[in-house]
Each structure stands twice: as structure tokens, then as C-alpha cells.
Structure 1
Amino acid sequence: MGHGGNVIQELTTDHREVEELFGRIEALPPGAKERKILADQATMELIRHSVAEESYLYPAVREHLTGGDALADKEIEDHAKAEQMMKDLESLEADDPQFDTLMGQLMREIRMHVDDEEQNLFPKLAATCPPDALMDLGDKVRRAKKTAPTRPHPSAPDEPPANKLLAPGAGLVDRMRDMFSGRGKGA
């Protein structure tokens, strides 16, 4: 969850971790109970990652990139679509026929989003944002992930300042729910 380095290195490492979870899900047979456990872990990571991006990365995109508002808006829209899928997945068990369909859609959506960020957004940001600002953003993203929610909240605000104010409280409640339910303990 916290890896070190600048914001691009931090978020790229998150992307690799989620892809590893997706690969483990795909390697299991349909209906396997472990698929749900891994899907919950992926959701937890994706939600923390998304909250951190929305709190710090996208405001930096708006500030440092020409056309940054449109780029950030598109990324936030991608997040909203994925978050709704994760919310829908939350109530499904691995043996539900809808689980595999929805999980497949989520994985495709996330992979397209990751590819777009890594091929387009990150290089543009690296070219225009000072290195010390990228390091500072990396620190802020790491701190945000520590207190971010772990469950999808599609109706929650996704832009500063409201998201920065509400995320820690939702994160605390989510982590308590996770602790009591055992969610995210691994497969």
C-alpha cells in the first residue's frame, strides 16, 4: 500500500499489485470461494488507490497539464464507473453467475484505465511537474491511502475538498467493518 518514491512510482506499483490479484482471480476456476476473497482484496486496494488519486493526483493534473481539467474529469469518470461495479460485486458470492461477468468487466475497465494512465497521463505529468512536487505528491498519496475507505462509496464526493474531509471517517468505519468481518485477510 505504501511503497516509496514519487507519485508516479507509487501509483504504478499499486497498478502492478492489483494486476497480480487479477491474475490470481483468473487462475482460479469459476465459482471458487477464493475468487471472492481476492476480489475483496482487489476492491480494497483499488478504492484506497482511487481516493488517493482523486485527492492529490488529479488536482496536480489540473494544475500542471494543458487540458488538465478534461483529463482529470475523464479519470474521475472512469473511477466512478469502476466504483459502481465494485459496489455491485460486493453483494455477490463467487458462485453467483453474475460474479464472473461483473468481475470480467471490472478487470477490463481497470486495465484500460491503468494503460491510459501509464501511457498518457503519467508521462505528461512527469514532463511538466517538477521532481520535488512529484515526490511531495508521492508522500501525500501514501498518507491518503492509510486513512482512505476500503469499500466502494459511489455516492461519496470524488473531488477536493469534500473527499479529503469525508474519506478518513469513511475509511475508519470501513476498516472497523473489515476487522469484524475478516474481509481482506487474504486467500
Structure 2
Amino acid sequence: MEYSRDVIAELAGDHREALALLERIQALPPGDKARKHLLDEVTIDLVRHAVAEEEYLYPAVREGIAHGDVLADKELADHIRMESLLKDLAGRTVEDAAFDLLVDDLIDEVRAHIRDEEQRVFVLLRQAYSPEALRELGEKVRKAKKTAPTRPHPGAPVMPPANKLLAAGLGLVDRARDALTGRGRS
């Protein structure tokens, strides 16, 4: 069997990429049109990441970790706040007075979520699951990200089975919209 990254390495890699994009946004001056383009990129990455976590990571947390329901519910609440910020930002231009404040709020929210996930959730997952189970979970997450939506859908279900049933359809529609508009292209 060929080696594949486990779920922790996969998601931690996503975290690094999201933080790098957010730092690039912060480095640009207010009103710079590139901020919106970078925000589209980070939105695509964060939404796909969140959907994959909701489909596979948090069910594993609920199943394999003591008090996993409480932990998963807290992480899902973080996702809902982030998606709400992303949705609000999607409807704004960089000239909008609230744009920079919302970007700052998003960055704070993402950093706090990453810190909590990496310092608590990932540590507990490593203790609860075998390396093979974590690799299998990593493969499921990678596959889920390929078909996941690319735009925030704050009202969409975040719990199985409804989230899995809806995600592929939303993802297909989002990717079609992105192709038509050029959104997310470097």
C-alpha cells in the first residue's frame, strides 16, 4: 500500500495554507483589489476543509473520544461562525468600510479554531485511533474536499447524514458557478 498522509497531517497542511493566505491578505493595504481575490481563494479552501471535517473528522471525534460530542459541537459552532463571516464578506467589496473589520474577525476566528483543533482535537485523535485508522480517515477527508462546496452555505446541515447528502450537490453547483465567473483562478 502506498503511503498517504493521515487526517492530522492533511488537516494541519490545510491550516498552514489558510493561514498563509490570510497573512497575504493582511499584508496588502486596505482597499487593494487583490484582497478580495485572496479572500475568494481562502474561502474556497476553508469551506472545503470545513465540509470534510464535518463529514468525517467530527463523527470520528464523537465516536472515539470521551466527551467527543461536546468537543465536536464546539468545533461545529466555530465553523458556523466562520461560514457566517465568509458569507458576509462575499457580499462586500474591498472598499466597504466593514470589509477590513470582518477580515480581522475572520482571521481571529480561524487562528483560534486552528489552535484549539491542533492542541486538543488532534492530540486526542492520535491517542484514540491507530495510525492506519488515521490514514484511512485522511483519505476520506481528501476525497470529500474534492467534491465539497466552494462557497459558504451557513444554513446547510453540518451533521451526518444530511450534510453528506447535500454537500456533493452544493459542490457541483458551486464549482459550475466558479467556472463561469472565473472565481478562484490564480
Normalising by the smaller structure, the TM-score range is over 0.9
| CA-CA distance at 1:94 after TM superposition | 1.0
Question: SS at 2:150's partner residue?
Answer: coil
| CA-CA distance at 1:62 after TM superposition | 0.5
1:120 and 1:73 mapped to 2: Cα distance? 14
Match of 1:27 in 2: 27
* TM-score between both structures, scaled by the size of structure 2: 0.97
* TM-score between both structures, scaled by the size of structure 1: 0.97
- Cα distance per residue 1:77-101 (max 9 Å; x no partner): 1100110110000010111111100
Identical counterparts, % of pairs: 57
1:11 and 1:110 mapped to 2: Cα distance? 13
| CA-CA distance at 1:152 after TM superposition | 0.4
| CA-CA distance at 1:131 after TM superposition | 1.2
Match of 1:73 in 2: 73
Match of 2:163 in 1: 163
Q: Aligned runs of 1:1-187 on 2, under 5 Å?
A: 4-186=4-186
2:72 and 2:103 mapped to 1: Cα distance? 25
Letter in 2 for 1:85: L
2:78 and 2:23 mapped to 1: Cα distance? 21
| CA-CA distance at 1:34 after TM superposition | 0.2
| CA-CA distance at 1:128 after TM superposition | 1.1
2:87 and 2:159 mapped to 1: Cα distance? 19
Q: How many residues align?
A: 183
Letter in 2 for 1:136: E
Structure 1 alignment gaps of length 5 or more? none
2:51 and 2:21 mapped to 1: Cα distance? 19
1:102 and 1:27 mapped to 2: Cα distance? 15
- Cα distance per residue 1:120-165 (max 9 Å; x no partner): 1101110111111101000000000000000000000001100001
Letter in 2 for 1:35: R
Letter in 1 for 2:14: D
Question: SS at 1:39's partner residue?
Answer: helix
Question: SS at 1:94's partner residue?
Answer: coil
1:93 and 1:182 mapped to 2: Cα distance? 17
1:183 and 1:97 mapped to 2: Cα distance? 23
